[in-house]
Amino acid sequence: ARTVPPPRPRVVAREAAAAPRAPGEGEPSGPPAVTLASSAEVLRHRDVAGLDAAERAQLRRLLAEFALVGQTRRSARRRPARRGDVDPRRTVRELLRRGGEPARLRRHARVERPRRVVLLVDVSGSMAPYADALLRFAHAAVRGGRTEVFTIGTRLTRTTRELAHRDPDLAMAAVAAAVPDWRGGTRLGELLREFLNRWGQRGMARGAVVVLLSDGWERGDPELLGAQMRRLHALAHQVIWANPRKARPGYAPLAAGMAAALPSVDVFVEGHSLAALERLAAAVRGAAGAAPVRGAERA
């Protein structure tokens, strides 16, 4: 398993452009741009569970501008290119068109397509402080295309269609109406088995980047979760786990569910803040710089 180091801050403090003022006019009443930038930077690192109403509203605006794209892969399809393998069919057609006279070799290259991303979002009671932010993150991912989203708790619910609404608030309302098990228990092993049997094994998880957003609390059999994670790891291109509890001081993956799942996880990241979700997005993109998870985390 690998963990992703924090990226360099992307928010740049800038002074507001000075506007002409009438004689005797005082300073502008609004805060300078440097203050706004500093406020946004501080918010990026705040734990979502501790935000007040105004900060949550600002976080939602920032998440609405989020973008998530999966790693690229070379597909079987090819397209004309200046460099690449010789395209025999197009080359022969060009020779025939010229009556057998010498012609430039026609070439083609494989088309690169983003890998499918599958998000499994835990909406159980222990994840209630983070569910809204994580689902808005999922909404941004669906908006980017080739993303499937499921909620997990006591049931498995496919919510890709509900999250396809362009307006994030309408999308959240649609998800709230579609998901029957908000703030319930967690049956990760059983629901992961259901996902694999109904969708994953048939192709949805094959070659995909699968992301589980959960604290790993499991009310069912941890051995079942471990077995299903091994199945998932064999199908997927990469398995990523984002756990909001990982950011807490002294955290260790000792919960039975998390401990059983971690050996089948490629990248283990935090999921408690906007900055953590940015690191998660970088992991989904396959950004360079990920380091192996320490042995203590696997133990």
Q: Name which of 123, 145, 147 is nearest 134 in CA terms.
A: 123
Res. 206: pLDDT tops 70: yes
Tell me how far apart the alpha carbons of residues 57 and 44 are, in angstroms, rounded to a whole number. Answer: 13
Tell me the average pLDDT across 194-205: 94
pLDDT tens for residues 179-188?
A: 988 888 888 9
pLDDT (average), residues 294-298? 51
Between CA 98 and CA 287 the distance in angstroms is 47
What is the reported pLDDT for 1?
57
pLDDT computed for residue 196 by the predictor: 97
Torsion sign across C-alpha atoms 183, 233, 198, 117 = positive
Q: How many CB atoms lie within 10 A of CB 100?
A: 8
Q: Are 172 and 140 in contact (CB under 8 A)?
A: no
Average pLDDT, the chain: 81
Beta bridge partner(s), residue 81:
107
Q: Which CATH superfamily is domain 59-70+115-298 in?
A: von Willebrand factor, type A domain (3.40.50.410)
User: Can you give the pLDDT at residue 242?
Assistant: 95
Q: Are strands 147-152 and 156-158 parallel, antiparallel or unpaired?
A: antiparallel
CA distance 43 to 192: 33
User: Over the stretch 124-150, which tens digit does the pLDDT of each residue have?
Assistant: 999 999 999 999 999 999 987 789 999
Q: Place 240 in a pLDDT band, splitting at 50, 70 and 90.
A: very high
| 150, β-bridge pairs | 120, 158
CB atoms within 10 A of CB 86: 10
pTM across the whole model: 0.74
Helices 188-195 and 222-235: angle between axes, nearest 10 degrees:
30
- The answer to whether residue 276 scores a pLDDT higher than 60 is yes
Please give the residue that has the higher pLDDT: either 288 or 33: 288
The strand order across the sheet containing 156-158 reads 156-158, 147-152, 117-122, 209-213, 238-243, 267-270, 2-3, 291-292
The pLDDT value recorded for residue 54 is 92
Tell me, what's the pLDDT at 8?
Answer: 42
Confidence category of residue 251, pLDDT binned at 50, 70, 90: confident
Domain ranges of the chain: 59-70+115-298, 75-113
